[in-house]
Amino acid sequence: MKINFILDPLASLKTQKDTSLAIMREANKRGHELFVSMQHDVFLRGNLARIKAQKFNFTPEGFILEPAFESLPSAFDAIIMRKDPPFDNEYLYSTYLLEIAVTQGAKVYNNPVALRSWNEKLSVARFPQFSPEFIVTANHQLIREFLTEHQDIIVKPLDGMGGSNIFRLTLNDPNISVILESITQFGSHTIMAQRYLPAIAQGDKRIIVIDGIPLPYTLARIPLAGETRGNLAAGGTGVAQRLSDRDYEIACTVGTTLKQEGLFLVGLDVIGEHLTEINVTSPTGMVEIAAQTDCNPAGVLMSALEQCRQ
């Protein structure tokens, strides 16, 4: 297969732990041709979707790129969208361009319409049986009422990643006003507040779902001492664990819907017994699971992709 990966700039990727590169290494091992593009390499020429790409080859020292060329997106057997958030206007425009490419025959993973529709924080509202209590608003008074009710909450932006701009608030916090002013930009930006889950001490579990089916292991991201965020980018430690019965129930139920929506690779975040986020843009954790278990997540993904393209 000819597989094109839409990535962040290659220089920004952490070579030894990046999930996109792990998938690419597995694809290369299987003899597939690899290509890379950046977000703004997808464009329209008139009503026709086009993409600029470079052939990518691994070398003992790293990788080399061949000169860029312009192509129809449909010339690739698969285009894998792995651009990191934030999900800003430019990301939104990319989903529109990729959607047009799909109507013209391109095979894009994840489905660009679903990328646009499934906000990674708000999507837990589709599964109220699994989510903790939460409120989504820009209104400070409503957030304060939610805090009074639950005593201990987490507030986070709707478009962030890696644990950025996530705060824990308790009733006696002297910084409530300034935190709410900052995170909502004085009431102009909508945020999510969730009831704080003490089970975060045992890890913020990342469950990888591929074509609707969860991997048998989760990556429990355990926070640093004194920290409330388990994200690896925030210093958390990743520990691979077998899925619990509850993890499996959540992942299989959600996975059925994800597959119907064309969301091929998704990372679910589970704290204790609650689903807290549904990561559809560029979920990570594959390298850590592969290093600690007998599971090869990139191999599972490539087998599923090969099956889809038969």
C-beta separation of 143 from 137 below 8 A: yes
H or E segment to which residue 218 belongs: strand 213-222
CA distances from 54 to 36, 58, 65, 77, 82 (A): 5, 13, 6, 15, 16
- Angle at which helices 140-150 and 176-183 cross, to 10°: 130
Choosing from 204, 221, 247, 261, the catalytic residue is: 221
Q: Tell me which amino acid residue 265 is.
A: L
**Closest to 192 measured CA to CA, from 228, 159, 241:** 159
Choosing from 82, 229, 231, 261, the catalytic residue is: 229
d(CA 54, CA 67): 6
Clarify whether 229 is annotated catalytic: yes
CA distances from 299 to 31, 57, 62, 181, 290 (A): 13, 19, 21, 45, 10
Clarify whether 269 is annotated catalytic: yes
Buried b (16+ CB within 10 A) or exposed e, 44-69: eeeeebbbebbbbeeeeeeeeeeeee
Choosing from 120, 247, 277, 288, the catalytic residue is: 277
Q: DSSP H helical segments within 118-190, as ranges?
A: 140-150, 176-183
Choosing from 82, 83, 121, 205, the catalytic residue is: 121
**Closest to 254 measured CA to CA, from 79, 128, 155:** 128
Choosing from 156, 211, 231, 288, the catalytic residue is: 156
Residues 9, 14, 20, 21, Cα dihedral to 10°: 100
Query: What are 146's two structure tokens?
Result: 């939610």
Clarify whether 121 is annotated catalytic: yes
Choosing from 82, 83, 107, 206, the catalytic residue is: 206
Clarify whether 17 is annotated catalytic: no
Clarify whether 221 is annotated catalytic: yes
H or E segment to which residue 137 belongs: strand 134-137
d(CA 130, CA 274): 5
Clarify whether 156 is annotated catalytic: yes
Active site residues: 121, 156, 206, 221, 229, 269, 277, 279
